[in-house]
């Protein structure tokens, strides 16, 4: 599978990204709570982006489905299934059927950074729902000055059972290719090729124990393909609080890539190499503003050689109080 970690390459400059920066309005209509937000918003798809904060997450890295990349580029066209199959781990993606000449890695199915947009959140008793409109796809985020902006929708909702179990669903859909590819497309319209995501999530906590997990499916329409590339991803993580300052955690993840077929009939059994990832973590809070995390990750690639990857990671997070201001 073509994937990479969240750390930038050493030859790239330091970059800053705003996770969230928005204005909001909250009101109650009888027993219904309504929140309206506008600005730089985390994607409303799933649960991890909504809660993403290194000072709160259990492991140094997010779940693999959020940081691994598909062998796709929104600014280049693949010539067929073999282009996808030939992509290699930690190498740039370079297709030969037109598009950008710059070097680039693959496409992540869902950004963890903010998107310009507006959102409405509604909750009534144990039911919650959200609807978000953004200026670009969560798979290809764009700034407000970009020529590659397309209105996108994302929706989600859930129900909390009496036992404390919360189950939710979410989805997004919209164009994701760059406008620079329009002269190369059969219909000359980028809006005919969509990225679609659907997911199920669950969280439960009681006493010292908590469990969370997600299942997701992403599909990316491509010209020249009878069956476009897609990804199925799932993870489950378990947390055990040992003391108020120490916790232990474990996470199991699986990434699967169904077969792909181009218009010539060439069929690739896996759009990318499947992965199974197992992680074990430890967290310690020396004070209210810092969190020290350590983890061991073992990745098993489903290849004929049984390739495996073992990683030890250490992360120290220092928190700065979020800037908020309420007006009445």
State the CATH number of the domain containing residue 211: 2.40.160.10
What pLDDT is attached to residue 5? 44
| Contact assessment for residue 216 and residue 192, using Cβ atoms and an 8 Å cutoff | no
Q: Does any domain span residue 307?
A: yes
What pLDDT is attached to residue 253? 95
For the entire predicted model, the pTM comes to 0.87
What pLDDT is attached to residue 315? 94
* Cα(230)–Cα(257) distance, integer angstroms: 6
Q: Kindly provide the residue ranges of all beta strands, DSSP E only, lying in the chain, ordered along the sequence.
A: 21-29, 32-41, 115-124, 127-134, 152-160, 166-175, 194-206, 209-220, 225-227, 230-243, 246-256, 260-262, 267-268, 275-287, 290-301, 308-318
Q: Does any domain span residue 84?
A: yes
What pLDDT is attached to residue 302? 65
What pLDDT is attached to residue 98? 84
Q: Does any domain span residue 153?
A: yes
What pLDDT is attached to residue 14? 67
* Cα(255)–Cα(273) distance, integer angstroms: 9
What pLDDT is attached to residue 303? 56
The rounded average pLDDT for each run of 10 residues, N- to C-terminus, in the chain (328 residues) is 41 67 91 95 92 90 87 86 65 80 85 94 96 96 93 96 94 94 86 95 95 96 89 96 96 91 82 86 94 94 66 90 69
Rounded percentage of the chain residues whose pLDDT exceeds 90: 56
Q: Does any domain span residue 328?
A: no
Q: Does any domain span residue 7?
A: no
Main-chain dihedrals φ then ψ at residue 61, nearest 5 degrees = -115, 150
Q: Does any domain span residue 10?
A: no
What pLDDT is attached to residue 7? 43
The parent domain of residue 200 ranges over 22-318
Q: Does any domain span residue 11?
A: no
* Cα(275)–Cα(132) distance, integer angstroms: 31
Q: Does any domain span residue 73?
A: yes
What pLDDT is attached to residue 3? 39
What pLDDT is attached to residue 2? 37
**Tally of domains within the chain:** 1
* Cα(278)–Cα(298) distance, integer angstroms: 5
């Amino acid at each position: 599978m073509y994937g990479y970690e969240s750390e930038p390459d050493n030859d790239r400059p330091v970059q800053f990204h705003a996770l969230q920066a928005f204005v909001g309005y909250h009101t109650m209509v009888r027993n219904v709570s309504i929140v309206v937000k506008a600005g730089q918003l985390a994607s409303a798809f799933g649960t991890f982006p909504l809660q993403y904060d290194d000072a709160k997450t259990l492991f140094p890295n997010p779940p693999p489905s959020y940081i691994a990349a598909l062998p796709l580029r929104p600014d280049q066209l693949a010539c067929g299934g073999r282009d996808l199959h030939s992509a290699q781990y930690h190498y740039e993606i370079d297709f030969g059927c037109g598009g950008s000449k710059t070097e680039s890695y693959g496409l992540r199915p869902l950004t963890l950074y903010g998107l310009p947009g507006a959102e409405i959140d509604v909750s009534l008793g144990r039911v919650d729902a959200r609807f978000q409109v953004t200026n670009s796809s969560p798979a290809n985020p764009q700034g407000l000055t970009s020529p590659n902006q397309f209105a996108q929708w994302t929706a989600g909702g859930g129900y909390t059972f009496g036992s404390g179990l919360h189950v939710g669903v979410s989805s997004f859909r919209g164009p994701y290719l760059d406008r620079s590819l329009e002269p190369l497309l059969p219909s000359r319209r980028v809006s005919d090729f969509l990225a679609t995501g659907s997911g199920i999530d669950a969280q439960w906590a009681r006493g010292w124990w908590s469990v969370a997990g997600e299942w997701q499916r992403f599909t990316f329409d491509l010209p020249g393909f009878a069956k476009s590339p897609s990804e199925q991803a799932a993870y489950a993580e378990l947390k055990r609080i040992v003391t108020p300052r120490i916790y232990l955690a474990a996470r199991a993840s699986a990434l699967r890539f169904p077969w792909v077929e181009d218009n010539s009939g060439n069929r690739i059994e896996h759009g990318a190499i499947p992965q199974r990832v197992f992680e074990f973590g430890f967290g310690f809070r020396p004070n209210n503003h810092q969190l020290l995390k350590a983890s061991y990750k073992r990745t098993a690639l489903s290849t004929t050689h049984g390739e495996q990857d073992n990683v030890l990671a250490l992360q120290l997070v220092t928190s700065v109080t979020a800037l908020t201001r309420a007006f009445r």
